[in-house]
Every structure is written in structure tokens, then in C-alpha cells.
Structure 1
Amino acid sequence: MIISRTPHRISFFGGGTDYPDYYLKHGGKCLGVTIDKYSYLNVRKLPPFFDHKHRIVYSKQENAKKIDEIIHPSVRETLKYFNIDYGVSIHHDGDIPARSGMGSSSAFTVGLINSLNALNGKMSSKKGLAREAIFIEQNLIKENVGSQDQTFAAYGGFNIIDFLQNGEISVNPIIIPQDRLIEFQDSIMLFFTGISRTASEVVEEQIKNTIINVPNLNKMKDLVDDAYEILINPNKKLNEFGELLNYTWELKKSLSSKVSNLEIDEMYQKAIAAGAIGGKLLGAGGGGFMAFYVEKNKQQKLIEALKEYLHIPFNFDFDGSKIIVYEPTYKEK
């Protein structure tokens, strides 16, 4: 039995510049962090006592005799990619609902790759995890996804990720004093809108508009460096980070008509009126989680103002995807 644990992420700046259609021409850059909300996968070889060869349990349960019969796209394509010729049982349990803008799909794929490597007696490198997950999601599943979610899930931590025009990806940890890091962490609040959506569908319009969106995507990329300067410069107040979030949210809404809607806009205005300095919807848009920068003395007021939405406390994660149980007990003979 192998159990993997893979973190979800909060993307603050640069989202949209991590799509190959953009960064292979212009170079991309994102700033974000992984948190202690995880995708857990229990993976083991399935003994040959059943009518089916593979069992996959997530929000549904699938019993399949062949890999091609598996409906779950990540499971199907990842098992094919690994040329799995034995039966497997895969159970998923997540802290965050699917289609909520926090990289849950990529966390699943990264965790599955990590688990299958462990099941086969191999250790996964963070770079390898990210690279293979990106390939599977973009080239095999053919989803409209960027490259930051897989990278954050694999590496973990508080990072700037550079997406180079030659296709290479560089992960650069953000190093700031511990007290400033804690102040920053404690000033970010997460709320769930209750709206689930498929990121691939939401972002389809954005990808089609990439050429039109290049000027705003360039501005969103530049904000990564501005945000980094705020974080590392002790003479700058962290509140300025929140102000930048407000600006990037306005730019993000310009990328596609599906990024926001009336309910999300009203939620955002309530938060600002209650004392939030800035915020943004996470992921592709259309629903999921909203992150706000809020000073501690105003956080209770914000919770009351958004009482119809679920507030999710969290801490940062610095481990990335990891194997937390390694007991490969069943062997075929």
C-alpha cells in the first residue's frame, strides 16, 4: 500500500502566463504558495480475485477490466503512460472539492505519478513529477491547463516560478524572515464561493484570446516582480501586497467573460467594504475559492460580512507531494 499526500495551492500573481500558448512566446512567471489542504491517494496492487482488474474510488467508484474502460481521465491516461500491466486499486480523498480553483486536478495527477513510482520501487524527483504531470494533462488528456498547478503540487512552498520560452521551468523559493512570513500567512483569508466549475471550459475563451490578451498578461507577469519586492523589502508594508491583488483581479477579469459573474462581484465588494485590502478568485475563474488580504483586526468583520460563504483557515505547506505510507506488501508471482 502506498499513500501519497499532495498539497493544493494559492496562486497570487501571474496566473494565465503559465499557459504554453503564452509563455513559449513571451515567457511566463507566477507567484504563489501551497497550503496544508491535500489530495490523498491510497494506491496498491489489486489481487486478481475480482471480475474487474482495476478499482478507482473518488466521488464515484469505477470497476474496470481494461485501462481504456476507465472514465477518470487522469487515472486512465496516467496508467497508460506508465504501461501498467497489473491490476491497481486507487482511492482518492481530498480536503478541497474538485473544480474549485486550487489546483485539485493537478494535485491528483502529481500524487498519482508519485504513488505509482513508489509502487514500482522508484523515488520521484520534484522536477520529474512536475514535468510528467504537465505532459499527461496537456498532451494526453488534452485539457486547457497551465503549468503552475503541477509545479506547485510537486515542489510545495512559497515560490516564484519562471516559465521559459524554451519550455524549461525554474522554481525559486521566496526567502523572507519568519516573523514577516507568519504575518503574511495570517493576513490571507480563504472563502469558498460554493460554485464549482470545470477550469478547462472556463479558460477555453481565454486561450483563444491569447493574442488579444498579451498586453494585460504582460502586466500580470510584471506584477510578480512588484509583489516580490513588497515581500522581501522590510521598508515596504505587506498591505501593499493586498493592493496589488486588487489590481491583478481587475486584469484577470479582462481576460475572459467567464472569469467572474454577478455573485462573485457582489461577494468581492462585500469583502472590500468589510475591510479587505484586496483579493482575487483563484484558478481559472467562474467559481471556487476567493483569497483576500485582510489585516488581523478586521478579519472577524469579514467573516461576518461573508457569513453565507465557508471560511477555510490554513497554513502554508513546504513539502510538496510526498509519500507518507510506503508498504508495498502485495507481490505477484
Structure 2
Amino acid sequence: MKDVLLHESATLRDAMSKLKASGAGIVVVTDDDGCAIGVLSDGDIRTAVLATENLDTAVSKHMTQDFVWVAEGASKERVLKLFDRRIRTIPILDSHRRPIGLAVPGYMAPIGETISRARAPVRLSLAGGGTDFTHHFLKYGGNSLSTTMARYCRATLRKREDSGIRIHSRDLGRSVQLDRFDDIVYDGNLDLIKAAIKVLRPTHGFDLEISSDVQPGTGLGGSAAILAAVIGCFSEFREDYLDDYTIAEYAYEAERVELEIAGGWQDQYSTVFGGFNFIDFNAENNIVTPLRITTRTRLELEERFLLCYTGNGHMAATIQDANRARAGGDPSMVNFAEQIKPIAIKMRMALLKGHLDDLGTMLHETWNLKKRINPGGTSSYLDKIYDTAMKAGADGGRLLGTGGGGYFLFFCKPYRRGDVVEALERKGHVTENVLLDQDGLQTWTTHS
């Protein structure tokens, strides 16, 4: 910019030298405070020389005072409209009218700092959970049927110039501040997010903020959802975007391998892919098959589904540790799988065809099987909630997630859902509607 700036006391000779050296086509004249007070073009100088025949007169006597300029941050649209008036070089001034640049053809509006964002939906497990444990499906195969709900875990990420790391959870009110990647230790403070960073091994410092629409321990797969959101944010800064399978695998690695938290695979795939999915698990590949559910069927499901919060967090760690402790050939687990997998297949067919009348009964069957394989997953308190809903007119339901607490998902026939809501709320329980998500993990970049 200095190449085109002249003080008001400079001469026409100085202006000609500036124009020749810069090739910009204009010079910008400034006062003692560095503020732009006029411009001189090639044509202005030629006119001045012809009139005065003196190159040593001050530019202030010949400059155009009422000149065209744009403010710092001007949009490309604004500049193009000036170009349409055959103006090809336009000074850019800051808020104090100090010149900071020139807008020329090809001008790009300045952008702020790039940040990445992501959101991942929580899942509703419908059937097949338990067969997605590695030790089981390596020998027997497994499947699961799930969908996602329009409640999200969110992450926002920006790069830092230094190697520092800052993580902040808005929901928990907790933060982590580190000088570098090697300082990461697991100490009970946002360890899940630290694990994602460990497996991703970013080469730059960053600020990361996370939040969630759901509380921990609700049985909605929130851990997998927040991991997917975080990993998705980092993917936005890569030259090669991570595909959905790879993001799900990184999420699984962070929770199950890095932190050694027991559990299956369905949560990670469900949240990343979103919508209704039938997932096959075997020794070679885990394959996600999206289901093309009609809009009519999806809308009807939203009207018939009902969530009821039990008021207790689920007991994931205790129950999943017990599941992992079972050998792959444990007879009770094999028997459970032989019964639950056909239900998942039958439920898939019902959803694809839009035949929903038996869906509640199938959910009821999965809940009974789940209680038999994990008696600790229920309690007299939970059984009373379930019985209240069934007596009021629910077709069936199940406790979501591992068990022990969290949310019940109930399925009701038309005209009976209101009765179920009233019965549960009379007992002091909180009921909630279900709005289904169809998009899964979404990532994007924006500018501050």
C-alpha cells in the first residue's frame, strides 16, 4: 500500500514516479494524520501538467477530493457495482479513513478466522443391541436396528497459532487448558474428549467447545454423538475429509480402546450415519444399510413414539462390563442373540413396508429379552413405570441404552398416546415427544 501513498505536500513529479513504480493507476493523497483526502490518476496528472507545465506543484492542488472508495470489509458485490461504473482501482479505507489497500479486478472480500462446526444426533436403539459386541459377532455375527433423534451434541473448533489446547464444555462448566498435545493426561476431567484428541493426534493447537441437548447417562448414546461431533470438526481442517465409516471407527477407538469403556459398535455408526439404519456386524466388515422409510411412516412414528425419563442415569459401566466379561460362546448370550436378531429383521421389514401395528409388540419382546440377559438392567421402580404405561394403553416399549435408568421409549396406538402421557405424568414422570433426525453427523466451516 505504501507504493501508492503520497503526502499532500508531494509534487506531481513525485506522483508520476509513484505511478510508474506501482503500476496501480492511481495514487492516494494523505494528510498529516495519514487519512485519505484525495486521489490522482494518470489522467489527472496529464491534465495538471498540460494546464501548468510545472511538475513541481503540490498534488493537493490537482487531486480529486470527492473520490470513490470502499470501507474495510466491503463485499465483493459492492465492489463489482463500482467496477460496472468503469472504476477499476478503488481505495479501501479503515474506520479512520486511513488507506489499507486497493480493490482491483479479482477482488475478494476479506473473511474472518475460519472455524469448524459439527453436530451429531443421539440414537434410539430399537433392536439387536448386545449382538454388536466384538467378542460375540466375531464368532456368531450380529445386527442392530436403530434410528436417530433430533437432539444433538455439538462441537466448535478453531486452530491456534501456538501448540496450546483449550477444551470447554458448556453443559458441564468444565475446561481443560494444556500447553501442548503431550500434556494430555486422563484425570476424570473431560477424558472422553481427550481420548478423541489422542487418537486423532492433531498437529496444531486449538480451541474446542462442546455442548449437548441431552444429559449424560440417558441411554441415548450421547458419548458416541459428542465424539462424532468432535472428530467431524477436526475432519473439516484436513485436506482429505474422513468418511463416515472412518469417523465412526475413530469414535469407537477413543471410547472403547483408548479409554477401555466397555460397549458395542452400534452407537458410533448410528450417530454418524443418522436416520434408520440396519447394521450388520461380522469379523470382516461392519456394514451400515440405510433404510428408505417413507415420509408418511416417519411422521406416524413420531406421533406414536413417546419418551419417558426415569429420573435415574443408566448403569452403563456396570452392565457393559458384565456383558464384556461373557465369553463369545456364553450360552445365555448366544441364546439371546438367536432371539433378538430375528426381531431386528422383522422390525426392519415392518418399517420398510410401513406396517406399524406390531411394532410395539416387537419392542416389548426386545425389552423382555434384555431383562432376561441382564436382570440388573431393571428394578421394581422401572418395572412400575413400564407397567403404568402398558396399563394406560401403550403397545410396548423398552428402556433405551444399557439399562438401569435413562429413558423409556414407548409405542402407542392412535388415540391412546394421550392416555399414556396422562398416566405417567400423574405418577410424576416426565414425558417427551420424539422428533426424528434423518441427516446424521453434519460438519461445516464458517468465519468469525
In the superposition, the TM-score normalised over structure 2's length comes to: 0.68
Amino acid at match of 2:166: H
CA shift at 1:90, angstroms?
Answer: 2.0
- Number of the residue aligned with 2:338: 218
- Tell me, what secondary structure is at the counterpart of 1:12? strand
User: Of residues 185, 194, 197 in structure 2, which corresponds to 1:79?
Assistant: 197
Q: Aligned-pair distance for 1:153?
A: 0.8
State the one-letter code of the partner of 1:319: D
Does the aligned pair in 1 maintain the 2:141–2:283 contact within 8 Å? yes
1:46 offset after TM fit, Å?
4.5
Structure 1 equivalent of residue 121 of structure 2: 7
For residue 62 of structure 1, the aligned residue among 153, 171, 175 is: 175
Please tell me whether Structure 1 or Structure 2 has the larger radius of gyration of its CA atoms.
2
Match of residue 315, structure 1, among 435, 438, 446: 435
**Where does residue 34 of structure 1 map in the other structure?**
148
Shift of 1:197: 3.1
Asked if the contact 2:274/2:437 (under 8 Å) is kept, the reply is yes
Find the aligned partners of 2:301 and 2:365 in 1 and give their Cα distance: 18
Residue type of the alignment partner of 1:68: V
Quick one: distance in 1 between partners of 2:200 and 2:174?
A: 22
Contact 2:123/2:271 (<8 A) preserved: yes
Instruction: Establish whether residue 299 from structure 1 lines up as the match of residue 412 from structure 2.
Output: no
Equivalent residue letter for 1:317? D
Measure, in 2, the Cα distance between the counterparts of 1:47 and 1:201: 42
Following TM superposition, by how much is the alpha carbon of 1:326 offset from its aligned partner in structure 2, in angstroms?
3.2
The question of 1:89 aligning with 2:207 is answered yes
Contact 2:302 2:433 in 1 (8 A): no
User: 2 CA distance for matches of 1:38 and 1:325?
Assistant: 18
Structure 2 spans left out of the alignment, 5+ residues? 1-114
- Residue aligning to 2:311: 194
Specify whether residues 217 and 26 from structure 1 end up closer, same or farther in structure 2 by C-alpha distance, changes over 3 A only: same
| Inter-partner Cα distance in structure 2 for 1:18 and 1:69 | 27
C-alpha separation between the residues in 1 aligned to 2:243 and 2:439? 12
User: Does residue 1:44 correspond to 2:158, yes or no?
Assistant: yes
Code of the residue aligned with 1:80 in structure 2: it is: K
Matches within 5 A, 1:101-120: 101-120=219-238
Q: 1:258 to 1:324 in 2, by over 3 A?
A: farther
* Structure 1 counterpart SS, 2:214: coil
Structure 2 distance, partners of 1:312, 1:123, is 36
The amino acid that maps onto 1:258 is G
For structure 1, the 5+ residue unaligned runs are none
Counterpart-to-counterpart distance in 1, 2:241 and 2:446: 11
Cα displacement string for residues 175-228 of structure 1 (whole angstroms, at most 9, x for unaligned residues): 243323322232111111111135122221223235132101221111111112
Matched with 1:170 is 287
TM-score, reference length from structure 1: 0.90
Residues 176 and 76 of structure 1: CA distance in aligned 2, closer, same or farther (over 3 Å): closer
How many percent of aligned residue pairs carry the same amino acid?
Answer: 25
For residues 143 and 155 of structure 2, the distance between their equivalents in structure 1, rounded to whole angstroms, comes to 29
How many residue pairs end up in the alignment?
323
Amino acid at match of 2:167: R
What SS does the corresponding residue of 2:385 show, helix, strand or coil?
helix
Give the drift of 1:141.
1.3
Question: Distance between the aligned counterparts of 1:63 and 1:207, measured in 2?
Answer: 31
Letter of the 1:207 counterpart: R
Deviation at 1:246, TM superposition (A): 0.7
Match of 1:326 in 2: 446
